[in-house]
Amino acid sequence: MARRKYREEQIVMILKESEAGAKTEELCRKYGVSPNTFYAWRRKFAGMTVPDIRKLRSLEEENLKLKRKVGELTMDLDAAKELLSKNW
């Protein structure tokens, strides 16, 4: 099954419909979203606006890049320590 990518505006709109009183099952069926995805969105994005969600996503992407760099540097440091610890 193809995976859809929902834009920030769509997520906010769906969550606002839910807050207005629409039933979760109906919203999930209408937009083709699983209930698990809907509840994850609600837990993560409840009360946020579109700019807030965009900022959160950009920060998450930046955090992921930084974690990868730290991992690479840690591997390099471990390799250098291992080389230096050997007796020649």
Q: Domain count of the chain?
A: 2
Verify that 44 and 71 share a domain, yes or no: no
Name which residue leads in pLDDT, 33 or 87: 33
Verify that 88 and 66 share a domain, yes or no: yes
Distance in angstroms (rounded) separating the CA atoms of residues 73 and 55? 27
Verify that 5 and 29 share a domain, yes or no: yes
Verify that 36 and 78 share a domain, yes or no: no
Verify that 1 and 44 share a domain, yes or no: yes
pLDDT, tens digit (0-9, with 9 covering 90-100), for 53-85: 899 999 999 999 999 999 999 999 999 999 898
4: left (phi over 0), alpha (psi -120 to 50) or beta: beta
Domain residues for the domain of 68 are 61-88
Strands (E), the chain: none
pLDDT, tens digit (0-9, with 9 covering 90-100), for 11-57: 999 999 999 999 999 999 999 999 999 999 999 998 899 999 899 99
DSSP state of 77: H
Q: Do the domain assignments include residue 71?
A: yes
